[in-house]
Structure 1
Amino acid sequence: MTDPTAPLIPLSLAHLPTVGGLVVPWITPRTGNGRHLFGAVDGNRKDHALLGRLCGVCGRRLDERLVLLLRLSDLPRRCTAEPALDPICLAYTAAACPMLGGRLDHYRTTPQALDPTMAPPADSSARRGAPAEPWFTVWLRSYKVIADHGTIAASYAGSTPMRIRPLTWGPLFSA
Structure 2
Amino acid sequence: MVPAVVARHRSGRALFGINHPNRVNACLLGRLCGTCGQPLSARPGGRYALLLRPADIIRGYSAEPALHASDCARYTTTVCPAINGHMTHYRATPRDLEADRCGDPECDCHLWTNSGDHRRRAGTPIPPFYLATYGQEQYRPYWGSRSGHDDVLVGVSLTGVEPISVRLVTPRELSILDLASAL
Does residue 27 in structure 1 map to residue 5 in structure 2? Answer: yes
Q: Distance in 1 between matches of 2:58 and 2:131?
A: 14
- Superposed CA deviations along residues 15-61 of structure 1, whole A, max 9, x for unmatched, are xxxxxxxx111111113564210011111110010011000010000
Aligned-pair RMSD on alpha carbons? 1.9
Name the structure, 1 or 2, with higher relative contact order (CA <8 Å, separation 6+).
Answer: 2
For residue 74 of structure 1, the aligned residue among 53, 56, 63 is: 56
Corresponding residue SS for 1:25 = coil
- 2:125 corresponds to which residue? 131
Structure with the greater alpha carbon radius of gyration: 2
Q: Distance in 2 between matches of 1:65 and 1:119?
A: 35
Corresponding residue SS for 1:152 = strand
Counterparts in 2 of 1:147 and 1:124: CA distance versus 1, 3 Å? farther
C-alpha displacement of 1:145: 1.1
Q: Distance in 1 between matches of 2:163 and 2:115?
A: 26
Q: Distance in 2 between matches of 1:80 and 1:55?
A: 13
Q: Decide which moves more: 28-37 or 83-92.
A: 28-37
Asked whether the 8 Å contact 2:96–2:114 carries over to 1, the reply is no
Corresponding residue SS for 1:92 = helix
Q: Distance in 1 between matches of 2:157 and 2:31?
A: 12
For normalisation by structure 1, the TM-score amounts to 0.78
Percent identity over paired residues? 37
Give the unaligned 5+ runs of structure 1.
Answer: 1-22
C-alpha displacement of 1:75: 1.3
What are the residue-to-residue correspondences of 1:137-156 with 2, within 5 Å?
137-141=131-135, 142-150=138-146, 151-156=153-158
Asked whether the 8 Å contact 2:84–2:171 carries over to 1, the reply is no
Q: Distance in 2 between matches of 1:120 and 1:80?
A: 21
- 1:47 corresponds to which residue? 25
For normalisation by structure 2, the TM-score amounts to 0.75
- 1:16 corresponds to which residue? none
What are the residue-to-residue correspondences of 1:82-121 with 2, within 5 Å?
82-87=64-69, 88-114=71-97, 115-120=109-114
Alignment length (residue pairs): 152
